[in-house]
Amino acid sequence: MSDTVSTTLEDGIAVILLDNPPVNALGHNLREPLFRALEAAKANDEVKAIVIACAGRTFIAGADISEFGKPPKAPSLPDLIGLLESIDKPTVAAIHGTALGGGLELALGCHYRIAERSAKIGLPEVTLGLIPGAGGTVRLPRLVGPEAALGIIVSGKPIGMDEAFSLGAVDRIAEGDLKSEAISFAREKLAEEAPHHHIRERSDKLQIDDAAFETAIEQVARKARGLTAPVKAAESVRNAVTMEFGAALAREREIFLERVASEESAAQRHLFFATREAAKVRGVGRDIEARPVARIGVIGAGTMGGGIAMAFANGGLPVTLLEMNDEALARGLHQIDRNYAGSVKRGSISEDEKTARLARIQGTTSYDALAGCDLVIEAVFEKMDVKRQVFGALDKVLKPGAILATNTSYLDVNEIAAVTSRPQDVVGLHFFSPAHIMKLLEIVRGDRTAPDVLATALALARRIGKVPVVVGVCNGFVGNRMLAARREQNEALLLEGATPAQVDKVFTQFGWPMGPFQMADLSGLDIAWNNRKSLGQTAPIADALCEAGHFGQKSGRGFYLYEDGARIPIPDPDVQALIERKAAELGVERRSIDAEEIIERTLYPMINEGARILEEGIATRASDIDVVWVNGYGFPLAKGGPMFWAERFGPARIVERLEHWHGRTGNALFEPAPLLRQLALTGGGFASLA
């Protein structure tokens, strides 16, 4: 007996119960007593069969991720599964909640698996930059066939019981009490005369269509977008087919250990914990209850309002969508319809699902229709007077306790809240475009925002599958404020001698899905131009391009040329001439610029701004900033976010290079933040601030 493992013997059936809250992760504190319990059950003649079950909310959620990178402690998970496989008595895993990673691998070491209908199983290791390291890539193909196993392993997505059962991954679905059904199942198996086979002894499903399997593996590499783990996982599944069981298992472990030591996995593990930390908010303890939210209101059916309405409708919430007039409303609803039709065409939702989602969105032009809403979010024009007018109107119609939210990108949430008689109910909910797809939600906490409003926003974000980060009020909050620091340098680099293609290439080689100039062309240069004009800002090259009618892909020309409606960016000699002309006009001396300079001048100011954001308390932790950048701006997952990446060099190196560029350019953007200087002096890192 131990704190985490207990065995009870029920008429010849040993039930080994694991209890390691919150998710029964297979840390040393569980592996060691489980090993002993299995040895004891194996040796005890009174034990005829073994059931492994878990207490709490879930079956085993995998290895203990916090142990990776630390010295290993015996017994290892493969040792544990090896012991399980040496037992001749029938062994049954009883699964509820989620059996993930090492949890599923342990279950694959049993002869049989029984699961509750609501359970899920999966091998999410690739999402942590790893591959399954305790036989998952070798046993699962033997159980369900290599093609199905490949899909499960490289996607990292858990599957439900319908699929698991039809694939043969689970032998029985328990409709009643899991533990008693598992015991009855074990008894049934005992009564059967047939021998019990471990998965390692089975090879009937390993026959494959070589060509189709190789094509599937090639596709993995194409879709991996620079990440190594899915490619390595696919390699390991192939080994399961081409190598003998023991050799494939040994090779899997080698690859797993290489992956554990990789920067890519360290970055993704950092993000796993960072995402969960971000949901922990000062002053919003577990005792703060979220307000009930059953109906959402959205104001403005433009780019963002339409996407936000879809995000809520996709999450099952009914939405009332308000526009200024019938025409604008019809336009907005039509766009939503088109977006859903696109999803149906791509096969991501069914026609029925489209109908159900559309039915959840009701259009209106009257504020009275919002009276029953529990939370209303506005996505009208980015102008303070328009926002004030909207909040004034909302204050009049909304019921007490309703939440008033703004999707503003830059404006002062406190100033907006001040228009209402209930500033405690006002919060920023900053979605990212396209709002039904991008995961990030910056929750902007105003000076007076009530804790239960934040708790509601956090719960709602999770309900619709968003990744929330609570931030403070400042111009641009966390993401856009740091982006502004980078954007300024993009133009400066062009003036000083870099080309758009050169800058973009450095970005994609770093791991971004695309460079800043390709991105600008894709989103349309005119939008940012209009925004700059309304704010009295300028960007010499982008402004000149817009004046010349270069609006990006939509006009066939932007920073690049796009021929015949194709989306392939071609370097444009006219743009180059324009850049050189502007440089001459502004008296900027041109020279050759290398990749290192492009990285330092675009990313270091972002990190510097990140340090200021931390200093001012706009973000609570450096890891929150990483969550923002990975989920809202496509910062490469493999690098873990700007602040995590910066730790690789350390604050001292960043300060030294910022000072260098400050000296050369005189630009205040490069003036090291006091916090960075302090960390450089003390030798601390950003993580030490948490």
Please state the closest distance from residue 20 (CB atom) to ligand 3HC, in A: 10
Q: In the set 5, 13, 16, 77, which binds ligand 3HC (CB under 6 A)?
A: 77
Q: In the set 27, 160, 226, 302, which binds ligand NAI (CB under 6 A)?
A: 302
User: Does 323 engage in binding with ligand NAI (CB under 6 A)?
Assistant: yes
Determine the size of the site formed for ligand NAI (CB under 6 A): 24
Q: In the set 390, 394, 453, 482, which binds ligand NAI (CB under 6 A)?
A: 390
Please state the closest distance from residue 77 (CB atom) to ligand 3HC, in A: 5
Q: What is the 3-state secondary structure (H, E, C) of 335-387?
A: HHHHHHHHHHHHCCCCHHHHHHHHHCEEEECCHHHHCCCCEEEECCCCCHHHH
Q: Which two tokens stand for residue 102?
A: 């090492």
Please state the closest distance from residue 595 (CB atom) to ligand 3HC, in A: 34
Q: Is residue 125 flagged as an active site residue? A: yes
Q: In the set 407, 420, 456, 518, which binds ligand NAI (CB under 6 A)?
A: 407
CB atoms within 10 A of CB 150: 28
Tell me which stretch binds ligand 3HC (CB under 6 A): 122-130, 447-455, 506-514, 522-530: 122-130
Q: In the set 108, 149, 322, 607, which binds ligand NAI (CB under 6 A)?
A: 322
Torsion sign, CA atoms 244, 229, 64, 688? positive
Q: Which two tokens stand for residue 70?
A: 């630390």
User: Does 658 engage in binding with ligand 3HC (CB under 6 A)?
Assistant: no
Burial track 426-446 (b if 16+ CB lie within 10 A, e otherwise)? bbbbbbbeebbebebbbbbbb
User: Does 476 engage in binding with ligand 3HC (CB under 6 A)?
Assistant: no
Torsion sign, CA atoms 382, 388, 391, 396? negative
User: Does 382 engage in binding with ligand NAI (CB under 6 A)?
Assistant: yes
Nearest 5°: the CA angle 116, 118, 124 is 100
Residue among 63 and 240 whose Cβ is closer to ligand 3HC:
63
Q: In the set 386, 535, 584, 681, which binds ligand NAI (CB under 6 A)?
A: 386
Show the site string, 266-305: x = touches ligand 3HC by CB under 6 A, - = not. -------x--x-----------------------------
Burial track 598-623 (b if 16+ CB lie within 10 A, e otherwise)? bebbbbbbbbbbbbbbbeeebbbbbb
The partner in contact with residue 302, picked from ligand NAI, ligand 3HC, none with C-beta cut-offs of 5 to 8 angstroms by kind, is ligand NAI
Show the site string, 426-465: x = touches ligand NAI by CB under 6 A, - = not. -----xxx--------------------------------
User: Does 623 engage in binding with ligand NAI (CB under 6 A)?
Assistant: no
Determine the size of the site formed for ligand 3HC (CB under 6 A): 26
Catalytic residue among 85, 105, 252, 496: 105
Kindly list the distances between the CA atom of residue 49 and the CA atoms of 17, 80, 689, in Å, as whole numbers in the listed order. 14, 17, 51
Q: Is residue 252 flagged as an active site residue? A: no
Catalytic residue among 10, 46, 85, 125: 125
The partner in contact with residue 427, picked from ligand NAI, ligand 3HC, none with C-beta cut-offs of 5 to 8 angstroms by kind, is none
Dihedral Cα 274, 278, 280, 284, nearest 10 deg: 170
Residue among 24 and 518 whose Cβ is closer to ligand 3HC:
24
User: Does 330 engage in binding with ligand NAI (CB under 6 A)?
Assistant: no
What DSSP designation does 667 have? -
The partner in contact with residue 276, picked from ligand NAI, ligand 3HC, none with C-beta cut-offs of 5 to 8 angstroms by kind, is ligand 3HC
Give the strand order in the sheet containing 49-54: 5-10, 13-18, 49-54, 91-95, 112-116, 172-174
Please state the closest distance from residue 322 (CB atom) to ligand NAI, in A: 6
Residue with tokens 């069914």: 350
The partner in contact with residue 181, picked from ligand 3HC, ligand NAI, none with C-beta cut-offs of 5 to 8 angstroms by kind, is none
Burial track 21-34 (b if 16+ CB lie within 10 A, e otherwise)? eebbbbbebbbbbb
Taken as a whole, the chain contains a residue count of 690
Which residue in 673, 466, 674, 497 sits closest to 597, CA to CA? 497
The partner in contact with residue 84, picked from ligand NAI, ligand 3HC, none with C-beta cut-offs of 5 to 8 angstroms by kind, is none
Q: In the set 408, 420, 489, 631, which binds ligand NAI (CB under 6 A)?
A: 408
Alpha carbons within 13 A on the beta-carbon side of 368:
1
Rg of the Cα atoms in the chain: 28
User: Does 105 engage in binding with ligand 3HC (CB under 6 A)?
Assistant: yes
Asked, as a colleague might, if the bond just before 451 is cis with ω within 30 of 0, I would say no
Q: How far apart are CA 529 and CA 537, in angstroms?
A: 9
Show the site string, 132-171: x = touches ligand 3HC by CB under 6 A, - = not. xxx-x-----------------------------------
Q: 84 to 103, contacts with ligand 3HC by CB under 6 A?
A: 98, 100-102
What DSSP designation does 138 have? H
Q: How far apart are CA 465 and CA 460, in angstroms?
A: 9
Please state the closest distance from residue 264 (CB atom) to ligand 3HC, in A: 14
Q: Which two tokens stand for residue 234?
A: 């696919």
Q: How far apart are CA 272 and CA 266, in angstroms?
A: 10
Please state the closest distance from residue 306 (CB atom) to ligand NAI, in A: 8
Which residue in 343, 416, 426 sits closest to 386, CA to CA? 416
Residue among 328 and 652 whose Cβ is closer to ligand NAI:
328
The partner in contact with residue 379, picked from ligand NAI, ligand 3HC, none with C-beta cut-offs of 5 to 8 angstroms by kind, is ligand NAI
User: Does 398 engage in binding with ligand NAI (CB under 6 A)?
Assistant: no
Q: 516 to 555, contacts with ligand 3HC by CB under 6 A?
A: none
Please state the closest distance from residue 204 (CB atom) to ligand 3HC, in A: 25
List the end-to-end C-alpha distance of the chain, in Å, as a whole number.
37
Residue among 141 and 332 whose Cβ is closer to ligand NAI:
332
Q: How far apart are CA 511 and CA 235, in angstroms?
A: 22
Q: Using an 8 Å Cβ cutoff, are 278 and 467 in contact?
A: yes
The partner in contact with residue 651, picked from ligand NAI, ligand 3HC, none with C-beta cut-offs of 5 to 8 angstroms by kind, is none
63 phi/psi in degrees, rounded to 5 = -60, 160
Residue among 23 and 301 whose Cβ is closer to ligand 3HC:
23
Q: In the set 37, 65, 227, 308, which binds ligand 3HC (CB under 6 A)?
A: 65
Q: Using an 8 Å Cβ cutoff, are 4 and 18 in contact?
A: yes
Please state the closest distance from residue 227 (CB atom) to ligand 3HC, in A: 15
Name the residues annotated as catalytic: 105, 125
Residues that bind ligand 3HC (CB under 6 A): 22-23, 25, 58, 61-66, 77, 98, 100-102, 105, 124-125, 128, 130, 132-134, 136, 273, 276
